[in-house]
Homo-oligomer: A and B are copies of this chain.
Amino acid sequence: MSDDDARFMAEAIALGERARGRTAPNPNVGCVIVADGTIVGRGATAPQGRPHAEAVALDDAGERATGAILYTSLEPCAHASTRGPTCATIIAAAGVAQVVAAIVDPDRRTAGAGLAALRASDVSVETGLMADQAAASLAGYLTRVALGRPRITLKLALSIDGKIALPSGESKWITGEDARAHVHLERAHADMILVGRGTYLADSPKLDVRLPGLEDRSPRRALLTRGEAVDGWEILHSPQDVFALRDVNDLLVEGGSATATAFLAADLIDRIIIYRAPIVVGEGRNSVGYIGLDAIADAHGRWRAAVFAPLGIDRLEAYERLRS
């Protein structure tokens, strides 16, 4: 693989990442088409999942797709749909010479059949380029296919000593403006946001996306509660209800402590994003309660440190659940 290959695939993944949070149940794929070393077509999965990224990119490229190379973050689909021909079919029909797919689609209906169909149509095929980066961007979709539920991210805004509020409940503001803006970016990339009944009653949060140009990206809202439905909110009676969620690749759990505890105790958190403020709170509200841990040794080996970066006056930390 050349540097150019990596550059084009990175562009494809970036296009797909921008679509994350509004393509479910379909994957947020990105695609670029390259002719004579120049990008001649770009595409990402459209909102609600159709058209697919490859179709958008082919439409963008037009006749320039003939003999070109198509880079896509996920294997082109091979399962027929009432909504149109498969991507493998239209790629071959457009005369694309080569397809470079970062990862194979684990969906049983494709799972290599897309690549096989391309090869059968004399399209050259490569896979594996920037597979980790593509899998990271498609984590929501991949989790749903593998585990039958969304990829679930827990967001916490914490002090150095792990507190989310004073004993009074005062939490405005643990973190600074940059961290709070970053939360809105995470929201824009979630299909659904969930809070507990306590947070709903205390803060009546809008959970909207307040970023210029992304206001229309505000995701569906859900409440974790044993109580009654609330207008405009979907209801989960327990964390296990995530297995019944439809059309959600990425679920963002925003708190509070009881909700975080319930999801962690059920081992239903795949990623923890922490906004860590350089303050000591001391006596205050804890971020997490009893999660079933009875020995320190059992706590180890579960989380992989993934991201550490400055974020305004705060720091961004991300941990990913290690599952064997």
Asked whether, in the complex, the Cβ of B280 is within 8 Å of the Cβ of A173, the reply is no
Distance between Cα atoms of A297 and B273 in the complex (Å)? 23
Contact of A279 among B163, B171, B292, B303 (CB under 8 A): B303
Shortest distance from the beta carbon of A321 to any chain B beta carbon, whole Å: 10
Q: Please, which residues of chain B bring their CB within 8 A of the CB of A264? A: 280, 282
Contact with B along A153-168 (1 / 0, CB 8 A): 0001011111101100
Stretch at the interface among A10-18, A99-107, A224-232, A283-291: A283-291
Shortest distance from the beta carbon of A278 to any chain B beta carbon, whole Å: 5
A319 interfacial by beta-carbon distance below 8 Å? yes
Asked whether, in the complex, the Cβ of A291 is within 8 Å of the Cβ of B283, the reply is yes
Distance between Cα atoms of A300 and B160 in the complex (Å)? 12
Residue of B nearest to A300 (CB): B279
Mark out the residues of chain A between 229 and 251 whose CB falls within 8 Å of any chain B CB in the assembled complex: none
A261 interfacial by beta-carbon distance below 8 Å? yes
A294 interfacial by beta-carbon distance below 8 Å? yes
Number of interface residues of A (CB under 8 A): 49
Asked whether, in the complex, the Cβ of A279 is within 8 Å of the Cβ of B291, the reply is no
A305 interfacial by beta-carbon distance below 8 Å? yes
Q: Please, which residues of chain B bring their CB within 8 A of the CB of A308? A: 308, 315
A299 interfacial by beta-carbon distance below 8 Å? yes
Distance between Cα atoms of A158 and B313 in the complex (Å)? 21
Q: Please, which residues of chain B bring their CB within 8 A of the CB of A161? A: 156, 158, 162, 286-288
Interface CB pairs A-B, < 8 A, 15: A158-B162, A160-B272, A161-B162, A161-B286, A166-B293, A166-B295, A173-B296, A265-B282, A272-B280, A278-B305, A279-B296, A279-B299, A281-B299, A305-B310, A308-B315
A206 interfacial by beta-carbon distance below 8 Å? no
Q: Please, which residues of chain B bring their CB within 8 A of the CB of A7? A: none
A274 interfacial by beta-carbon distance below 8 Å? yes
Distance between Cα atoms of A303 and B294 in the complex (Å)? 33
